[in-house]
Structure 1
Amino acid sequence: MFIDYHTHHARCGHAVGELEEYVKKGIEIGLAQIGLSDHMPLLHVDPATYLPEMAMPMEELPRYVEECLALKEKYKGQIDVRVGLEGDYIEGCEEQIERIVKAYPWDYVIGSVHFLGEWDITDFRQTAGWEGKNKLAVYEQYYDAVMKAAATGFYDYIGHIDVIKRFGFKPDEDVTHLENAALEAVKKHGLAIELNASGLRTPVKEMFPSRRMLDYAYELGIPLTIGSDAHQPERLGQYLEEARAALKEVGYTQLATFNCRKIMLIDF
């Protein structure tokens, strides 16, 4: 079973390609399921005065869902389209996030932490934010947010759980206890995680999560899905063979899929 549950599209502003292009590309490369999972609109910063091309405008959200549902029907029998959302966890915005999660017929919602306050730690334009900061304190803040996201009940799985490492900024101190606590929170609240292969094309040159975290996730019995985090149609499925091989080495034999917010494990 070949699946890709993490994709982005032109509507979010920092990806290229229309939704239908991704679906057609998925058929071309032999995906059985494709998850359309664009970014939730920004809630805690003003898109007009923040940085451009961060996420889809709020007025586009219903149109995004309508287009996803139309493609799901149009390509039925050729590829199974799953309608998703990468729903940022923003501390203090829980009520707004919950309204979005409940307003639409999602197949799944990814819980991802990109922002610490108004700082997007995943944005290459904002790496200067690390300057003068205690890296361990940043990691503590990040993993605290991941644990809070897991506890909300809004999400089906946690996306790129250790993305804080993306640009290679790491504390001198060991952060195993922080990573383990985040995975234990995922387990406690009955969520899955993803193996996000896009880390291989970032400065850290490592998938999200690391092999050590994968091993611990397997030990805890956490279900796992897989995604390329493609922001261009030609990157759909990128590095997923490497990701599948890594999962098999760890011991995983099944992947998590989602339909109407319900999880189903499939052999791969």
Structure 2
Amino acid sequence: MFIDYHTHHARCGHAVGSLEEYVKRGIEIGLDQIGLSDHIPLLHVDPATYYPEMAMPMEELPRYVEECFELQGKYKSQIDVRVGLEADYIEGWEEQIERIIKAYPWDYVIGSVHFLGEWDVTDFRQTHGWEGRDKLEVYERYYDAVQKAAASGLYDYIGHIDVIKRFGFKPEEDVTALENAALEAVKRHDLAIELNASGLRMPAKEMFPGRRMLEYARDIGLPLTIGSDAHQPERLGQYLDEARAQLKEIGFGQLATFKQRKRMMVNF
């Protein structure tokens, strides 16, 4: 089973390519399933005054969903298209997030933490936010948000669970306990995580999560899916061969897939 559940397209503003281009690319590289999973519109900051090109405008969301399902039908004999959403977890905005999630018949919803307040810790334009901060305190806030996302009941799996390391900012202190607590929260609330291969092309030079966290996820029996986090059609499936090889080496034999918000495990 060859799958890629994490993709973005031009509507989000910081990716390129149409949804159909991603589906066609998926067919070309032999994907069995492709997950379309663009970013939820910004809710807690004003899109007009915040950093540009962060997420699709709210008025585009219905058209995004409609187009996803059109492609699902159009290409059903060639590839299995799953319709998803990457929905930022924002503490205090759970009701607004829930309204959007409940408004559409998703196959799956990714819960990702990008924001700590109004600071997007994954945005290359906002790395100055680390200046003068206690890195351990940032990591504590981040992993606390991950635990709250897992407990919220909104999501099917947690995306790039240790993406806080993206730009190489790390505390001198050991953060193993924070990482393990986050993984345990995901397990406790019966969610999965993803192995997001995009970290290999970022300053972190390591997938999200790293090997140690993957080994702990294996030890506690955490389901796991896989994604490239492609923002360009040609990056669909990028590094997923390496990701699958590492998973097999660690001892994973199955991947989580999702349809109509139900998780199904498949061999890979």
Q: Same fold (TM over 0.5)?
A: yes
* Matched residue, 2:199: 199
2:255 corresponding residue in structure 1: 255
CA distance in 2, matches of 1:100, 1:216: 33
Find the counterpart in structure 2 of residue 45 from structure 1. Answer: 45
1:1-268 counterparts in 2 under 5 A? 1-268=1-268
List alignment gaps of at least 5 residues for structure 1. Answer: none
- 1:161 alignment partner AA: I
Partners of 1:37 and 1:80 in 2: CA distance: 14
Instruction: Describe the SS at the equivalent of 2:226.
Output: strand
1:104 partner amino acid: Y
| Offset from partner CA, 1:224-268 (integer Å, 9 cap, x none) | 000000000000000000000010011000000000000000000
Same amino acid, percent of matched pairs: 83
1:95-122: CA deviation from partner (whole Å, max 9, x where unpaired): 0000011110000000000000000000
Partner SS for 1:255: strand
Taking the aligned partners of 2:189 and 2:209, their CA distance within structure 1 comes to 19
- Where do 5+ consecutive residues of structure 2 fail to align? none
TM-score by length of 1: 1.00
Deviations 1:12-39 (A, max 9, x none): 0000000000000000000000000000
Structure-1 separation of matches of 2:127 and 2:58: 26
CA distance in 2, matches of 1:252, 1:103: 34
CA separation in 1, counterparts of 2:62 and 2:150?
A: 25
Q: CA deviation at 1:196?
A: 0.1
The number of aligned residues is 268
Letter in 2 for 1:211: R
User: 1-side partners of 2:221 and 2:195: how far apart?
Assistant: 14
Shift of residue 77 of structure 1? Answer: 1.1
Name the SS of the counterpart of 1:256 in structure 2. strand
Alignment partners' CA distance in 1, 2:55 and 2:90: 14
In the TM superposition, structure 1's runs of 4+ consecutive aligned residues that sit over 3 Å from their partners are none
